[in-house]
Amino acid sequence: MKQLIGYFLKGVLVVVPIGLTVYVIWHSIVWIDALLPFQQGGVGLIVVLVSLTVIGYLASAYFTSSLFLYLEKLFAKVPIVKIVYLATKDFIAAFVGEKKKFSQPVLVRLNDENQLFRIGFITADNLEKLGIEDKVGVYFPSSYSVLGTLYIVPTKNITLLDAKGADVMKFIMSGGVSDL
């Protein structure tokens, strides 16, 4: 009976991650297709990918970049739109922009009394605009979630890790069960 339960659990371990991945991808494609006036399996995804690439090219081109800068300045002036737009832009840029923010993983000692540490990412290494010196902003992602917490910590409590940011993020997001 124990061996039968072991086989069952092994099957769950194999099927659930694959099934969940296929489910999320499939429903994402169906959702994107539903946004278009014509529904043709998967064409919506191709249209979105090509459209984003063309828009990226146009935003990079000299003659159209001023138009995109104008639109960005316009969004940055409207009170509520400004908050949503800039927060979204900064969040996306942290992952795919030229100034990626989750590239420097660190080990942070949380207190001096015991050996308790957390792994995070330096997201702000200069906090002088906030009137804070000798401290950095460290983002701590939560395991099994997309949530996280930002702490301001003394630089003396920081140990840089010799690892790729993506590998460390995967390690944290999995609760430490994935390999580095």
Phi, psi of 143 (to 5 degrees): -70, 145
* Number of Cβ within a 10 Å radius of residue 82: 13
For 127, the token pair is 């906090």
With beta carbons less than 8 A apart as the criterion, state whether 44 and 35 touch: yes
Q: Could you tell me how far CA 133 lies from the centroid of its own chain? A: 27
What integer pLDDT is reported at residue 170 of this predicted model?
75
Opening angle at CA 142, ends 122 and 49, nearest 5 = 80
Evaluate if residue 165 carries a pLDDT over 60. yes
With beta carbons less than 8 A apart as the criterion, state whether 138 and 123 touch: yes
Q: Is 134 left (phi over 0), alpha (psi -120 to 50) or beta?
A: left
Domain ranges (residues) in the chain: 2-60, 105-173
Q: SS3 string of 12-78?
A: HHHHHHHHHHHHHHHHHHHHHHHHCCCCCCCHHHHHHHHHHHHHHHHHHCHHHHHHHHHHHHHHHHC
Cα torsion angle, 37, 42, 43, 49, sign:
positive
Could you tell me the pTM of the whole model?
0.50
**pLDDT for 106-155, tens place per residue?**
888 887 777 778 888 887 788 787 788 888 888 888 776 667 777 788 88
Q: CA nearest 109: which of 120, 118, 96, 99?
A: 118
**pLDDT for 62-118, tens place per residue?**
666 777 778 788 888 888 877 777 777 777 776 666 666 677 888 888 877 777 788
